[in-house]
Chains A and B, each alone.
Chain A
């Protein structure tokens, strides 16, 4: 009895914490359904006639190309990351090269280097090549941004492939391709999906590179959000609508993959 009471008190505390903590997001979504006049009020207006006007406005201001640019940059960089990282992780786990740990730490050290430190030459080169405001530039840079994460993560998944099964396959005369297809892929495919999802999230949310390297042609969704603020007059409800739209893909992806999230973010260190 006492234990049950105690548990339900903890449960209530957890619920309260959860709702308070997520409240800014709830507020964002609520505000996005308001008229501008209801959005910027003091005291805050809790009851109002919901409207989709702000969403229509956001699409009228042409958010679509920005969303498509984000989608392109995120999807293509994710594909490239997976194609580069998976073989590399294989060479660092199942059939390791001689100095596998050096390579592994080299990858993580590129992640530790602040982006700004090497950004100027990248900027100058991109400008020199006439690749400013080009979505493929973003694809390349997002690939390098996510590569260390993906290598570490894929390695941690590949290490879960039981060695005995691989060896048994080899004894039975399975070639490399067969063992990849029949043994490795089925085991690591959930991990592969999680890796791809996390790379997608980071690419989708990236701001620093996007704000300095893109403009009208290849601007991504974060750029749309920032450009939005400079406009005159009341903008809060519209801002919330736009913020809700651009956050939605990652919110859904993250909710779906929440069990894999921690492993990816910790580069495979925490399972």
Chain B
């Protein structure tokens, strides 16, 4: 069930107004983790902001002059970043939506008793456990390959899937890996439905479709939101699949933001521009995350009021 903030998701012990010593005793166990997270994630980011105001190409010797917002102007007026942004949205949204749909279908299949249900569940989560880079290479070489790939081997034809449908190829691989994740979340949602209420609806003459439409889907809504949210957090960072299946191509057809910044950093060595792009990504993330955090908080609240 979604963490039920009954009396317990709220801290059972209300923070009391103790003396300074008591407050530090309470804080002490938190500090190592907090300091570690700040040092390893926030400090580098502040340095990124500084770097983004310098003109620095690692291949060019000499100093790194301060150039203000020039890098931002370069990056924002460069069509590559815009297309990378669009690609990121398309790839993330495509993968999240299709894996949610497929995950819902699988969850519905698993939500009833049949012989070997445990085995089928194990089969269905397996793709999620395959190392992502191994999965990407497997799809590229063993399934999508035009001459000896399994897809053309079974269905005939000689389509070069990766170069003809690069985005679809990447999304397919991502959907294959992430469907189990969505399935597990939605299955937990389905199993938290109250059986008595469903039975009562049946007794009242509701048919299966009506029950699904009117009761199951509304009940699943928060689980769908949670799946979409967490899926997006993970999938926005997709790098492995792009790196190994398409290298961002053909052209820039599948270059997403992580891959674009990677190219700016390690192929063009434009450290200043890469930093500016990084800062822009963080600003965009903050916008999306503010929205996302609101969803998370409302999930907790919704449970509280239930």
Listed in ascending order, the chain A residues whose CB lies under 8 Å from chain B are: 7-8, 10-11, 13-15, 17-19, 21-22, 24-25, 27-28, 31, 39-44, 84-85, 87-88, 90-98, 100, 103, 105-125, 140-141, 143-144, 147-148, 151, 156, 159-160, 163, 201, 204-205, 207-208, 211-212, 221-222, 225-226, 229, 235-236, 239-240, 243, 246-247, 250-251, 253-255, 258, 261-262, 265-271
B150 interfacial contact with A, CB 8 Å: yes
Whether B123 pairs with A246 at a CB distance below 8 angstroms is no
Report if A19-B123 is in contact (Cβ < 8 Å); known contacts: A11-B115, A141-B40, A243-B131: yes
Shortest C-beta distance, B41 to chain A (Å), equals: 5
Which of these, A27, A120, A270, contacts B265 with CB under 8 Å? A120
The interface stretch among B45-53, B69-77, B159-167, B211-219 is: B45-53
Expressed in whole angstroms, the Cα–Cα distance for A91 and B32 within the complex equals 11
| Interface SS of B by simple majority | helix
Residues of B within 8 A of A94 (CB): 11-13
Residues of A within 8 A of B127 (CB): 21-22, 24-25
Whether B237 pairs with A115 at a CB distance below 8 angstroms is yes
Which of these, B123, B125, B137, B226, contacts A243 with CB under 8 Å? B137
Of B9, B131, B132, B244, which is in contact with the most chain A CB atoms at under 10 Å from its CB? B131
Whether B27 pairs with A91 at a CB distance below 8 angstroms is yes
Residues of B within 8 A of A91 (CB): 26-30
B133 interfacial contact with A, CB 8 Å: yes
- Sample of 14 A–B contacts (CB below 8 Å): A11-B116, A42-B153, A88-B34, A94-B11, A112-B233, A116-B239, A147-B36, A205-B131, A222-B131, A239-B137, A243-B134, A250-B131, A269-B296, A271-B1
Expressed in whole angstroms, the Cα–Cα distance for A160 and B292 within the complex equals 26
B261 interfacial contact with A, CB 8 Å: yes
Whether A116 pairs with B131 at a CB distance below 8 angstroms is no
Whether A100 pairs with B126 at a CB distance below 8 angstroms is no
Shortest C-beta distance, A48 to chain B (Å), equals: 14
Of A7, A88, A105, A143, which is in contact with the most chain B CB atoms at under 10 Å from its CB? A88
B91 interfacial contact with A, CB 8 Å: no
B262-285 CB mask vs A (1 if < 8 Å, else 0) is 100110000100110011011001
Whether A225 pairs with B133 at a CB distance below 8 angstroms is yes
Whether B274 pairs with A120 at a CB distance below 8 angstroms is yes
**Which partner residue on chain A sits nearest B130 by CB separation?**
A247
Which of these, A88, A140, A201, contacts B40 with CB under 8 Å? A140
Expressed in whole angstroms, the Cα–Cα distance for A118 and B40 within the complex equals 9
Size of the chain B interface, CB-CB below 8 angstroms: 107
Whether B141 pairs with A116 at a CB distance below 8 angstroms is no
Whether B109 pairs with A151 at a CB distance below 8 angstroms is no
B220-263 CB mask vs A (1 if < 8 Å, else 0) is 00010010001001001101100110000000000001100110
Whether B34 pairs with A103 at a CB distance below 8 angstroms is yes
Residues of B within 8 A of A40 (CB): 145, 147-148
Whether B32 pairs with A88 at a CB distance below 8 angstroms is yes
Whether A114 pairs with B142 at a CB distance below 8 angstroms is no
Whether B120 pairs with A84 at a CB distance below 8 angstroms is no
Whether A201 pairs with B137 at a CB distance below 8 angstroms is no
Expressed in whole angstroms, the Cα–Cα distance for A211 and B32 within the complex equals 28
Ordered nearest first, which 9 A-B pairs have the shortest CB separation? A11-B114, A87-B29, A88-B33, A91-B30, A243-B134, A254-B129, A18-B123, A144-B40, A262-B184
For chain B, residues 3 to 56, give those with C-beta under 8 angstroms from any C-beta of chain A.
3, 8-9, 11-13, 15, 23, 26-30, 32-34, 36-37, 40-45, 47-48, 51
Which of these, B110, B143, B147, B293, contacts A105 with CB under 8 Å? B293
B289 interfacial contact with A, CB 8 Å: yes
Whether B292 pairs with A112 at a CB distance below 8 angstroms is yes
Which of these, B23, B112, B116, B230, contacts A15 with CB under 8 Å? B116
Expressed in whole angstroms, the Cα–Cα distance for A18 and B275 within the complex equals 44
Shortest C-beta distance, A118 to chain B (Å), equals: 4
Whether B289 pairs with A262 at a CB distance below 8 angstroms is no
Whether A84 pairs with B33 at a CB distance below 8 angstroms is yes
Which of these, B29, B105, B106, B133, contacts A226 with CB under 8 Å? B133
Which of these, B105, B138, B176, contacts A240 with CB under 8 Å? B138
Which of these, B124, B150, B233, B296, contacts A22 with CB under 8 Å? B124
**Which partner residue on chain B sits nearest A13 by CB separation?**
B109
Expressed in whole angstroms, the Cα–Cα distance for A84 and B243 within the complex equals 33
Residues of B within 8 A of A201 (CB): 129
